[in-house]
């Protein structure tokens, strides 16, 4: 019987593993290999250039701009999403209808979200400027995505808007699994709602929050699709919304430098990996055991 079991396991895994190897692993490995060449995308014999591509990254103003902007997004987006999601999850306990509403953006593809928000931000007939005028705040009207100081914040607002709903649902579900008697006991001991939230709820749902940090950290290092579709240029005005993913795409498909673009990809890969590990370590807490 035993042999039959292994044969069955091997037989059912070989197809998915092969697909995974061909379509996921092999492109990764090839990118690592190409990162050390000057491949232009059509050449059949790229030249090995050692670490040239990687050392070039350090004085590429576009890549550095991307790094800077992704860094800012990493500081702002995860924190904002988690705080908002926790607040909304705590504030809407038991009322499922809100959760459906918050979850709605999650059902839209990024491309649709970007196009929608482009219309919200557009200067002359946009929803945002229209709303400001309706409130009598005409002096606040802006060319939102065309102002270097505002554009990245506008993109981040969309990122937050589109991801907060998922975490509301995630945190709500976690909160519901917190046993009611613990809460009750705390209340009897004289703890107010804020203390209960800080001392009881957060520690008990911390694993979900930790997952949130990591997913959002990875998402903040991307942002390619939103920037590519929404922003001026794209990546503008004047590279104020440049992200690393966009730089990679442009380097490969506009500038025809696939080797250099692969080096960017490898750098982003290691950056994302280290940040994920770092977030995992920093957010580590003693697990509360509930028997």
Partner 1 sequence: MMNLTRRSALAGVAAVAASTGLAACATAGGGDDDKVKQGDTSAENPLGVSADAALEVVIFKGGYGDQYAIDAGTSLKQKFPKVVIDHKGIQGVGEVLQPRFVADSPPDVVDNSGAGRLDLATLVSAGKLTDLTALLDAPSLDDPSKKFRDTLMPGVIEDGTFDGKPLVLNFSSVLWGVWYSKSLFAKHGWTFPKTWDEMLTLNDEIKKAGLQPWTWQGKYPEYLNDPLVSLAAKAGGFDLVKSIDNLQPGAWQSPAMLAAAEAIYQLAVRGHIMPGSEGLSHTEAQNAWCKGQVAFIPCGSWLEGEQQAVTPAGFDMVMGTVPALTGSDKLPDGAVMAASSESFIVPAKAKNAPGGLEFLRHLFSQKVARGFAESAKALPVVNGATDGLNLSSGLGSVAAAVKAAGPNVFSYKFRTWYAPLSKAVDDATGELATKRINPQQWAERVQKAADAVAKDSSIVKHQR
Footprint on this chain of partner 1 (rule: CB under 8 A): 17, 21-22, 25-26, 29-30, 32-34, 37-46, 118, 121-125, 143-146, 148, 232-233, 236-239, 250, 253-257, 260
Shortest distance (Å) from residue 8 CB to partner 1: 19
Residue nearer to partner 1 on the CB measure, 213 or 250: 250
Residue nearer to partner 1 on the CB measure, 159 or 246: 246
Alpha helices in the chain (DSSP H): 2-20, 26-34, 52-57, 61-91, 96-103, 110-121, 127-134, 151-176, 180-188, 193-195, 202-204, 206-220, 224-230, 244-253, 258-282
**Residue 41 contacts by C-beta under 8 Å, 6 or more apart in sequence?**
252, 256, 258
Residue nearer to partner 1 on the CB measure, 40 or 92: 40
Shortest distance (Å) from residue 45 CB to partner 1: 7
Shortest distance (Å) from residue 111 CB to partner 1: 15
Distance CA 242, CA 63 (A): 8
**Residue 168 contacts by C-beta under 8 Å, 6 or more apart in sequence?**
85, 88, 89, 92, 99, 102, 103
Residue nearer to partner 1 on the CB measure, 176 or 238: 238
Residue nearer to partner 1 on the CB measure, 165 or 233: 233
Residue nearer to partner 1 on the CB measure, 35 or 168: 35
Shortest distance (Å) from residue 143 CB to partner 1: 4
**Residue 203 contacts by C-beta under 8 Å, 6 or more apart in sequence?**
285, 288
Shortest distance (Å) from residue 278 CB to partner 1: 15
Contact 221, 268 (CB under 8 A): yes
Shortest distance (Å) from residue 177 CB to partner 1: 21
Neighbours of 260 (CB within 10 A): 27
């Amino acid at each position: 019987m035993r042999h039959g079991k292994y044969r069955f396991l091997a037989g059912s895994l070989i197809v998915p593993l092969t697909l995974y190897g061909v379509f996921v692993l092999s492109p990764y490995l090839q990118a690592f290999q190409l990162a050390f060449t000057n491949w232009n995308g059509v050449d059949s014999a790229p030249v090995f250039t050692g670490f040239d591509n990687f050392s070039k990254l350090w004085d590429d103003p576009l890549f550095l701009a991307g790094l800077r902007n992704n860094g800012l997004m990493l500081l702002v987006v995860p924190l904002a999403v988690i705080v908002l999601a926790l607040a909304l999850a705590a504030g809407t306990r038991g009322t499922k209808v809100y959760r459906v509403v918050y979850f709605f953006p999650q059902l839209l593809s990024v491309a649709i979200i970007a196009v929608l928000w482009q219309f919200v931000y557009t200067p002359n007939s946009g929803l945002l400027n229209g709303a400001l005028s309706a409130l009598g705040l005409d002096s606040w009207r802006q060319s939102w995505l065309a102002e270097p100081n505002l554009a990245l914040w506008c993109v981040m607002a969309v990122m937050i808007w589109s991801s907060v709903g998922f975490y509301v649902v995630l945190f709500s579900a976690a909160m519901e699994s917190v046993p009611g008697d613990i809460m009750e006991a705390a209340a009897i001991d004289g703890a107010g709602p804020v203390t209960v939230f800080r001392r009881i709820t957060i520690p008990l749902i911390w694993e979900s929050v930790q997952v949130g940090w990591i997913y959002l950290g990875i998402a903040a290092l991307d942002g390619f699709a939103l920037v590519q579709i929404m922003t001026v240029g794209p990546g503008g005005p004047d590279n104020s919304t440049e992200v690393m993913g966009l730089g990679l795409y442009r380097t490969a498909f506009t500038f025809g430098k696939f080797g250099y673009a692969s080096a960017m990809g490898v750098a982003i890969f290691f950056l994302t990996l280290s940040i994920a590990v770092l977030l995992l370590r920093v957010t580590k807490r003693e697990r509360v055991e509930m028997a």
